[in-house]
């Protein structure tokens, strides 16, 4: 049996502002680096940074390789401030 659903108009997002392309995809843009840590392996150390992305919450931030992020998004590292 189907029931009628009454939606909340305040939750509707305008399509123009969302940045969704015709292929129903969007580009993730990093906003801020939240944390940095170094994994120590037997023969080397691997640095990772926790990245906050534009359309996600802090709980959904991801760990990315610091070297890759520096190459793709150098503007995030120019301030020289890393959270400890």
Structure letter (DSSP) for residue 72? H
CATH number at residue 37: 2.40.50.40
- For residue 45, the enclosing domain spans 26-76
Q: 82: pLDDT confidence band, cut at 50, 70 and 90?
A: low
Per the confidence metrics, is the pTM higher than 0.75? no
- In this predicted model, which residue has the larger pLDDT, 58 or 25? 58
Whether residue 55 lies inside any domain: the answer is yes
Q: Across the chain, how many H-helices and E-strands are there?
A: 2, 3
Task: Dump pLDDT digits (tens) for 37-75.
Answer: 999 999 999 999 999 998 888 888 999 999 999 999 999
Domain count, the chain: 1
Whether residue 18 lies inside any domain: the answer is no
Reading the block at residue 81, the tokens are: 């401030």
- In this predicted model, which residue has the larger pLDDT, 61 or 4? 61
Q: Is residue 18 scored above 70 in pLDDT?
A: no
Identify whether the C-beta of residue 36 lies closer than 8 Å to the C-beta of residue 47. Answer: yes
């Amino acid at each position: 049996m189907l029931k009628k659903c009454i939606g909340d108009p305040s939750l509707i997002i305008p399509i123009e502002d969302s940045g969704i392309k015709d292929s129903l995809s969007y580009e993730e843009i990093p906003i801020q680096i939240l944390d940095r840590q170094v994994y120590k392996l037997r023969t080397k150390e691997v640095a990772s940074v926790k990245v906050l992305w534009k359309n996600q919450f802090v709980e959904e931030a991801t760990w990315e390789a610091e070297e890759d992020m520096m190459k793709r998004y150098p503007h995030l590292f120019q301030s020289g401030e890393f959270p400890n």
